[in-house]
Amino acid sequence: MTRSHRDPVRVAQRTGSSTVYTIAMAKRTMQEATFLILTALAASSQHGYGIISDVATISDGRVRLRAGTLYSALDRLRIDGLVEVDREEVVESRLRRYYRLTPAGSEQLAFEAARLHSNAATAFVRLGLTGGAAG
Amino acid sequence: MTGTADLEQNYRRWLRWYPKSFRREHETEMLGVLMAAARPGQCRPAPAECLDLVQSGLCLRLRPPAARTRVRRDHQAPPPCRDGHQPR
C-alpha cells in the first residue's frame, strides 16, 4: 500500500485536483456497505455481529448486512490492508473475531468521507439549501 | 434445542458454497454471526440468507487464488461482486 503514505485527503485538498483523486483512490468509488463497515470500525474494534448491528444503527436501519456479504467485504478489506484482526475470543463456545481499522483504512475512510461531504455540500448549494440543512 | 441444532446444521450446509480455505478460517465465526442474527424459534435459513451465502461463496470461489495474497494494484478491475467489491 505505497499510496497509503501519501495522505490522499491532504493532497486532494491542497491541489484541488481531480487527477490527484484518481491516482490516490485508484479509480474506485467505495460502495456504501464498505463505507459503513469502515465507519463501524472507526471508533473501536468490533466482531462480525457487532458490525452488522452497528451498520444498521448508523444507517437508521436502511442497510441490513447479511453474514455472507459482510464476510466477503471483510475478506477483501483485509486483502487491501484496510482492516485487520484485532483479537479473538470464545463466547459460549463460539469464536468471536474482532476487527479493527489499519492506519491505511482510517486514511481511506477519511478520504471517502471528505469526498461525500464535498459532493453533498455542492448538492445543497445547487438546490439553494446552503448551510446543509434540508427543509 | 433441536431447532437450534437443525438451524446450525442447515447453515453449515449452505456454507459449503465457500472455498474450503475460507471455511477453515471463518466457518465457526460465520456460524456464530448467523446464529446470533437468527430469529427465536427459527429452524431454517431464510431464502434471502441462502441466496446471500451462495452469491458470496461463489464470488470467493471465482476469485483467482493468487488474489488472496496479492497487494491490490487495481489497474484492470473485473466486474464487482454484489457486496460492491471487485473480485480478482
Residues of A in contact with B85 (CB under 8 A): 31, 34, 72-73, 76
Closest C-alpha among A70, A40, A77, A58 to residue B29: A70
Nearest-neighbour CA in chain A from B85: distance (Å): 7
Nearest-neighbour CA in chain A from B31: distance (Å): 8
The whole-number pLDDT of residue A63 equals 94
The whole-number pLDDT of residue A28 equals 59
Q: Looking at the predicted complex, does its ipTM rise above 0.95?
A: no
> What is the tens place of the pLDDT at every residue in B26-63?
999 999 999 999 988 888 999 999 999 999 999 999 98
CA-CA distance, A130 to A122, in Å (whole number)? 9
135 residues of chain A, pLDDT tens digit each: 444 444 444 444 444 444 444 444 444 578 999 999 999 999 999 999 999 999 999 999 999 999 999 999 999 999 999 999 999 999 888 889 999 999 999 999 999 999 999 999 999 999 998 765 554
Across the interface, whether the CB atoms of A94 and B35 are under 8 A apart is answered: yes
Global model pTM greater than 0.90? no
Residues of B in contact with A76 (CB under 8 A): 83, 85-86
The whole-number pLDDT of residue A18 equals 44
CB A59 within 8 A of CB A51: no
CA-CA distance, B2 to B44, in Å (whole number)? 12
Residue in this structure with the C-alpha cell 458454497, named with its chain if needed? B17
Nearest to A67 among B37, B54, B60 (CB): B37
